[in-house]
Structure 1
Amino acid sequence: MNLSALRRRQGRVPPELAWPPFTWLSSGRAPRCLVVLAHPDDETIGLGARIGRLAPIEVIHMTDGAPRDSRFMPAELADVGRERYTAIRREEVTRALAVGNVPASKLRCLGAVDQEAIEEAPSLARKLLDLFARTRPEVVITHPYEGGHPDHDAAALAVHSAAVLAHWNGVTSPLIFEAASYHAARGHLVTGEFIPYPGIPEIALRLSDEEAARKRAMLDCFSSQKETLAPFGAEVERFRPAPTYDFRRPPHEGTLHYERLGFPIDGARWRKLAIMTLTLLGLGRERCL
């Protein structure tokens, strides 16, 4: 069963959560919400201005943010070792979320290695299934499948897979929403915008002066990521209900952003592992999630 069919059968979903204008993102009752993203700082990039208002049950990072290859660490930290770099990233996100009014007690890391989340996607999806059963979220906010980073795409795959598995196991599946991140569908880096998806509405929330100042202060907490975060602004945050994806196919034509960066994994390898994940989870016959 794909997620579109699943949603049609979920008569218990409050209409104010499921349909535009998605006012819960900016006012009114905040739903029971999980934030499930790939790395420490992705929550600030995607929804730093409103994460405190949403009061998430937990903020979950799929990875510890520390790659094995020191070439992908900031030059000034390349010699500190992966363990110390992991701790630095944890310290930074804890400070940032404190600025955003989210306590450290709500932070949770599922333990995958940066750039390698797709290798652990079956296990990550099962952990999310257990989390859905325990916390009963109404909404999960995660990444779009856009080829910006292999871990972003793995997070999307794991969340979508867990939602279907939840339905099969008699657990109410949360609505999946996406926060805009980055991609290279136009042949160059694009930040803060989605790859358009037919029939899927978007909401662009312009930040007030107070919200923008808070988000900039959160971004400033990530000293180790200063160069990486330089292209990201603090003017607008964009969200949309998750489309139904076919993770067996590339997210867009041409070279993916992480292929441009020379990551150890390319799109072809990622999709091979995605197919293996779906098969291991019993979703091999699901063409779309």
Structure 2
Amino acid sequence: MTSGDGPQRLMVVVAHPDDETFGCGSLLLHAAAAGATTAVCCATRGEAGEPAPGSGITNERLPAVRERELRAAAGLLQVSRVDLLDFADSGMSGPAGPETLVGAEFADVRDRVRERLEDFRPHVVVTLDAGDGHRDHARIRDATLAAVAQSRWQVARVYLQCLPQALMRRWLEHIAREHPTSQHLEGDVPGTPEELITTVVDTGKHLTERERAIAAHASQVSPYEGLPADLRLAFLATEHLRRITPEWRGGERERDVFFP
């Protein structure tokens, strides 16, 4: 799979270490298997995360640990390049200082992403759709779309990685059975409405490799931990995306993110 200037290139732009694996791991493996060169651009070191119970990792050590995990997982996902943008993790809520991804000037976030885009020159860019409601995910989504719009390098295709609402509804049903007092049961069903999903990629053959990459993020509790086998497979064996560029005009869903 090549373009006029060599193998096609795919860049995934995320907010925290583990987003690249928990969210886009199978897509990165799919791209590498298809002959594409891949890169991950990560905005923070995830220092506002919680160390997994029993990990023995202190909050002070967490940023360095999570960076190491990011790089180890990227290697398992056959990623050729990892860029860190050096913003601080904003956390889920509360005040966000100017050093954080949410608190920083939007133009600064956009321009740092744009610099990496113009250097790597991807044909395909994938970022998060923020359907989970995390403010850092929304920030990096908006900054990435703005960076693509202003880049001197023309990106052929831009996608948002999605969690389908139908799948999230199944997840909430599981949570209601196993953890009936969970705060996740409050509010609306998260995720992306089915009608907005334009692209569905079968990545089941990469499941074993993705599981290894998930395990590399040992400082964090995987969102797939404890799920029934069928629900875990539904999350990990198929990639759901929303194509932003070129504009989707309807029709049969795509089955890949690359040009033939």
Is the alpha carbon distance of 1:59 and 1:48 closer, same or farther for their aligned partners in structure 2, counting shifts above 3 Å? same
C-alpha offsets along residues 109-150 of structure 1, whole Å, 9 cap, x if unaligned? 101111242222321101122223333222111101424311
Is the alpha carbon distance of 1:48 and 1:36 closer, same or farther for their aligned partners in structure 2, counting shifts above 3 Å? same
Match runs of 1:74-223 below 5 Å: 74-76=52-54, 80-82=58-60, 84-103=61-80, 106-115=81-90, 116-120=100-104, 121-166=106-151, 170-181=152-163, 188=172, 194-196=191-193, 198=195, 200-208=197-205, 211-223=206-218
C-alpha distance in structure 2 between counterparts of 1:42 and 1:182, whole Å: 16
Query: Amino acid of the residue matched to residue 146 of structure 1?
Result: G
Query: Amino acid of the residue matched to residue 71 of structure 2?
Result: T
8 Å Cα contact 2:38-2:79 kept in structure 1: no
C-alpha distance in structure 1 between counterparts of 2:116 and 2:76, whole Å: 26
TM-score, length basis structure 1: 0.59
**5+ residue gaps in structure 2?**
91-99, 173-183, 247-260
Q: CA RMSD in A?
A: 3.5
Query: Amino acid of the residue matched to residue 180 of structure 1?
Result: C
Is the alpha carbon distance of 1:151 and 1:199 closer, same or farther for their aligned partners in structure 2, counting shifts above 3 Å? closer
C-alpha offsets along residues 187-239 of structure 1, whole Å, 9 cap, x if unaligned? 9559xx9512656523142502xx11111111111111125442564332222
> Aligned with 1:109: secondary structure?
strand
Match of 1:278 in 2: none
8 Å Cα contact 2:102-2:139 kept in structure 1: yes
8 Å Cα contact 1:77-1:85 kept in structure 2: no
Match of 1:262 in 2: none
> Aligned with 2:207: secondary structure?
helix
Aligned counterpart in structure 1 of residue 17 of structure 2, from 40, 45, 55: 40
Is the alpha carbon distance of 1:81 and 1:46 closer, same or farther for their aligned partners in structure 2, counting shifts above 3 Å? closer
Question: What is the total number of aligned residue pairs between the two structures?
Answer: 205
Match runs of 1:208-287 below 5 Å: 208=205, 211-230=206-225, 233-242=235-244
Q: Measure how far apart 1:89 and its partner are.
A: 0.9
Query: Amino acid of the residue matched to residue 81 of structure 1?
Result: N
Q: 4+ residue runs of structure 1 moved beyond 4 angstroms?
A: 75-79, 181-190, 197-200
8 Å Cα contact 1:163-1:174 kept in structure 2: no
Percent sequence identity is 21
**5+ residue gaps in structure 1?**
1-16, 18-28, 245-289
8 Å Cα contact 1:205-1:238 kept in structure 2: no
8 Å Cα contact 1:62-1:155 kept in structure 2: yes
Q: Measure how far apart 1:243 and its partner are.
A: 8.1
8 Å Cα contact 2:162-2:240 kept in structure 1: yes
Q: Measure how far apart 1:181 and its partner are.
A: 4.5
8 Å Cα contact 2:198-2:242 kept in structure 1: yes
Q: Which has the higher helix share?
A: 1
Is the alpha carbon distance of 1:174 and 1:76 closer, same or farther for their aligned partners in structure 2, counting shifts above 3 Å? farther
C-alpha distance in structure 2 between counterparts of 1:31 and 1:92, whole Å: 26
Match of 1:271 in 2: none
C-alpha distance in structure 2 between counterparts of 1:43 and 1:80, whole Å: 23
Is the alpha carbon distance of 1:145 and 1:219 closer, same or farther for their aligned partners in structure 2, counting shifts above 3 Å? closer
C-alpha distance in structure 1 between counterparts of 2:8 and 2:242, whole Å: 15
Q: Measure how far apart 1:162 and its partner are.
A: 1.0
C-alpha distance in structure 2 between counterparts of 1:235 and 1:131, whole Å: 29
Q: Which has the higher strand share?
A: 2
> Aligned with 1:224: secondary structure?
coil
Q: Measure how far apart 1:156 and its partner are.
A: 0.5
Query: Amino acid of the residue matched to residue 178 of structure 1?
Result: L
C-alpha distance in structure 2 between counterparts of 1:93 and 1:160, whole Å: 23
